[in-house]
Amino acid sequence: MRILGIDPGYATTGFGLLASDAAGVRLLQYGVVTTPKELPFPQRLEVLYDDLLRLVEVTSPDAAAVEELFWGHNITTGIGVSHGRGVILLALTKAKVPVFEYTPMQVKQAVVGYGKAEKRQVMDMTRRLLHMEKVARPDDAADAIAIALCHARSQTSLLSRLQADHQE
């Protein structure tokens, strides 16, 4: 299974592509999608949409894992990121990629084993689990890899298997 992890934004959107199978999880690719600051906001959203469709076309994911938003102190930035996240969900849906959403706490729990872990702990554990020499940069890409890893671990958990068996 190829999993595309997405850390949503409108200026910078992180992505990480993992391959997950019975042999384990491997990092295939990561990076960021950026939009030009000089463009008006609606055009930035259009660039994000187009670039995400291209990313899906190039990476051919079987699933996408997208982080749900955590509202911090800057509501104005949060609203912009919300718009970006909506465009991301639309692009993935239009491309017929199944979308799975995870809260920051779920990502931390899946990667570190503690839902209130610090960001640096998540980044370091992601690096270790995927046998990377160093933590991915920028942070948006590192976050996206952790989100994809959360989905990989969620899909291979015993509970997930039991639920799938029960539905058959």
| Active site positions, annotated | 7, 67, 140
Degrees, nearest 5: CA angle 60-145-141:
95
pLDDT at residue 61, rounded to an integer: 98
Is the pLDDT assigned to residue 159 strictly greater than 90? no
pLDDT at residue 122, rounded to an integer: 94
Average pLDDT, the chain: 90
Question: What are the Cα distances from residue 42, in Å, to 10, 36, 64, 141?
Answer: 10, 12, 24, 24
pLDDT tens string 98-116:
999 999 999 999 999 988 8
Is the pLDDT assigned to residue 160 strictly greater than 80? no
pLDDT at residue 22, rounded to an integer: 86
Task: Band the pLDDT of 78: cuts 50, 70, 90.
Answer: confident
What range does the domain containing 17 cover?
Answer: 2-167
d(CA 102, CA 141): 16
pTM listed for this prediction? 0.88
How many domains does the chain contain in total? Answer: 1
Nearest to 108, CA basis, from 98, 97, 120, 93: 120
What is the domain-level CATH number for residue 83? Answer: 3.30.420.10
Tokens 């849906």 sit on residue: 93
